[in-house]
Structure 1
Amino acid sequence: MPPRSPASATRSRRPRAPSAARHFAVIGAGIAGIACARTLVQAGHRVTVFEKSDRVGGRTATHDTPFGGFDAGAQYFTVRDDRFAQALATVPGVCRPWSATTVRVLDAAGRVAAASQPPSEAHWVACPGMDALVGAWAQPLQQAGCLLTGARVVCIEADPLRPRGWQVCTESDDGSQQVVAGFDAVLMAQPATPARALLVSSDLYTPLADALADVSIASCWTLMLAFPQAVRPGLTTLGPQWNAARSTHHRIAWLARESSKPQRSSVERWTVQASPAWSDEHLEDNATRVQDKLLKAFAEVTGIRATPSHAQVRRWRYAQTQQPLGRSHLWDADAQLGACGDWCLGHRLEDAFISGLELALAVA
């Protein structure tokens, strides 16, 4: 590892009073970042959350169309940790169980392994779209002016006016840049790869960078399809009688009938997620080519060969953790830099929540 930069060396010698109110920069407004930020605020600290997109949610993003919304990323979540259950109780009515029967597709012909059965544990979704949960948790931060959207953090620097502090440089979609200073610590709630890239491009030499390099995250192409012609008397759905499937088709890993989820539009809509291997292989392919290939695979698996009125693909460069960190978060107390995300523990939304929560508890 290269020698520590002067800024990092200075930080390694400074004492910290754990009870003192401090100002944290949180990079990323997905479930991990918002869980971290709201926990810090509850502990009496100040936070500023930076989000590169124009809305919160991260991989819980809901894509709106004239035919209804699509959960383009995370499809559902489970609740196994009491702390997650308690946090969900703070926004009553936002989340509802999804009773969709899930099957496993065996082959390209759509044959399934066994008769349809309910899931072994409750599947939950946020309503009216998956991003509603993070949106509800983020609302107090937004109202307090603590959440900056459309602000991609491009550099973390020592604050020249506060030798023991940090400042972050942001860039908006129009290319304009801004420097926000006055932070005691910076917490990255991003996928591991861009978090490490940010540290490297900022010339910050910290053990976090080595730990982040050990995490592996696969990409995912997502196809969204709408068939409004299915909504007519005597016909409410197209194709199979199941509403979700884990597929072993070489192109497709998951399919879900969006219109089967609670509080969704009744227009027949499907979200199709490509397998990690196929997505990585075709990561840089033209979107139209990817759409055509996934649409063909969708027809093979479901038997739905009607022409969709709406078809669109979205590429997630960092979608599903293949090799997690193996601990809930990263924290360099000397440099006052931290990182969290689902990739610390796995790939579930609950993993992201626990990671953000435990990083906040560690630094608060």
Structure 2
Amino acid sequence: MKKPAQHYAVIGAGMAGVACARTLVQAGHQVTLFEKSRGAGGRMATRDTEFGSFDHGTQYFTVRNPMFARALETVPGLCRPWSANAVRVLDPLGRVVAAPLPTRESHWVATPGMNALVKRWAEPLLAQGAVELQTRVVKIERDALNERRWQLHTEGADDSRHVHSGFDGVLLAMPSVQAHELLRNSKQAPALAERIAEVRVAPCWTLMVAFPQAMQPGLSALGPQWNAARSTHHRIAWLARESSKPQRGPIERWTVQASPAWSQEHLNDDAERVQSKLLKAFAEVTGIRAEPSYATVHRWHYAQTIQPLDQSHLWDPASRIGACGDWCMGHRVEDAFVSGLELALKVA
């Protein structure tokens, strides 16, 4: 028997949150999606610059889960395979000394940037006025007018404060640390908060560099022949030539992701110092010693799951509070999708 329509608050508009919200709407429920940033996407992020875009969060995704594969069929042509031509860096100084990584499955990217997929799936929610952007949820409590429901205290980008009420359930689609803090500070669902606290997630410093001088007549692409590398350099875990991805601009530019251990060690360092150190490591790995025309860094506090929950989602039927995210299952994009989908199916 179909459940009567209910109103759910979904907190977080990354892949997990949007997958959860759209599934609930498809099941006939009302959803209000809260996102602290200016748009949907989460770590499937794209930064636009005068030199072209950078996927400074998620670099690519795989398609192993049949439910995720079917969902991608709803946006034909939006996602394209990326021939990453990836190698593994094994030299202590970071130089490539190994054969290309074995290609067991396709690397996929959304076009024209990684954020395009989540944004496309969020469009119907935005059109319905069901998304509250630049809105941070700071407290969950029982509804003042109906103790069986929930209300949320929020803060806007302009320091405005509001109370949103009348929710039959609250679903947290946010990094595990933030979900735990929100439940703990709200003094709600302690058993759920205790489970979330088991998860371990590592940070990541990301460097973005552009070399428009490589576009000069007669000058070939700078640096190595490969377009991506998994690195054992003590500072760098991954590098990718952004201009090698489908439907990206032609200007030579790279995204460089620091290793979890180095990122944790330098988490609170000054951004300028981090940039300098990562530029030096980038030159050691790629052999590119030219001065970039554009360089900047971004710090992700919660980037890669080290210890997942090992279940697809959390749901407390007594309080009607749940949680989802890639951290429930692993660190892949499709982990986030499946987590959000299965939480929605559980409560719908």
Pairwise same-fold verdict (TM > 0.5): yes
Q: Provide structure 1 residue ranges, at least 5 long, that are not aligned to the other structure.
A: 1-16
Task: Pick from 214, 225, 236 the counterpart of residue 209 of structure 2.
Answer: 225
Q: CA deviation at 1:204?
A: 1.1
Q: CA deviation at 1:233?
A: 2.2
Q: CA deviation at 1:321?
A: 0.1
Q: CA deviation at 1:117?
A: 5.2
Match of 1:107 in 2: 91
Kindly report the root-mean-square deviation, in angstroms, between the aligned alpha carbons of the 2 structures. 1.1
1:84 is paired with a residue whose SS is helix
2:178 is paired with a residue whose SS is helix
Structure 1 runs (4+) deviating above 6 angstroms are none
Q: CA deviation at 1:20?
A: 1.0
Verify: 1:37 aligned to 2:21, yes or no: yes
Q: CA deviation at 1:173?
A: 2.0
Verify: 1:128 aligned to 2:108, yes or no: no
Match of 2:73 in 1: 89
Verify: 1:313 aligned to 2:294, yes or no: no
1:59 is paired with a residue whose SS is coil
Aligned pairs for 1:6-25 (under 5 A) are 19-25=3-9
Task: Pick from 311, 321, 334 the counterpart of residue 327 of structure 1.
Answer: 311
Q: CA deviation at 1:110?
A: 4.0
Distance 1:240 1:108 in 2: 17
Amino acid at match of 1:359: L
Amino acid at match of 2:271: A
Task: Pick from 172, 180, 192 the counterpart of residue 208 of structure 1.
Answer: 192
> TM-score, length-normalised on structure 2?
0.98
Task: Pick from 172, 183, 186 the counterpart of residue 188 of structure 1.
Answer: 172
Verify: 1:199 aligned to 2:183, yes or no: yes
Verify: 1:235 aligned to 2:219, yes or no: yes
Match of 2:147 in 1: 163
Distance 1:356 1:249 in 2: 35
Q: CA deviation at 1:109?
A: 4.0
8 Å CA contact 1:110–1:301 kept in 2: the answer is yes
1:190 is paired with a residue whose SS is coil
Q: CA deviation at 1:108?
A: 4.8
Amino acid at match of 2:28: G
Q: Provide structure 2 residue ranges, at least 5 long, that are not aligned to the other structure.
A: none
Give the stretch that moved more between structures: 75-84 or 229-238: 229-238
- Pair 1:278–1:117, CA change in 2 (3 A): closer
Distance 2:134 2:250 in 1: 32
Give the stretch that moved more between structures: 83-92 or 115-124: 115-124
Match of 1:294 in 2: 278
Match of 1:244 in 2: 228
Distance 1:329 1:111 in 2: 40
Q: CA deviation at 1:310?
A: 0.4
Distance 1:324 1:18 in 2: 32
2:32 is paired with a residue whose SS is strand
2:119 is paired with a residue whose SS is helix
Verify: 1:348 aligned to 2:338, yes or no: no
- Pair 1:256–1:188, CA change in 2 (3 A): same
Amino acid at match of 1:81: N
1:123-179 Cα shifts (integer Å, max 9, x gaps): 000000000000000000000000111001101111011110001111112211111
- Pair 1:108–1:303, CA change in 2 (3 A): farther
- Pair 1:55–1:286, CA change in 2 (3 A): same
> TM-score, length-normalised on structure 1?
0.94
Amino acid at match of 1:251: R
Match of 1:77 in 2: 61
8 Å CA contact 1:100–1:118 kept in 2: the answer is no
8 Å CA contact 1:99–1:118 kept in 2: the answer is no
Match of 1:360 in 2: 344
- Pair 1:236–1:162, CA change in 2 (3 A): farther
2:98 is paired with a residue whose SS is coil
How many residues of Structure 1 are paired with residues of Structure 2 in the alignment? 348
2:67 is paired with a residue whose SS is helix
8 Å CA contact 2:21–2:344 kept in 1: the answer is yes
Distance 2:125 2:280 in 1: 43
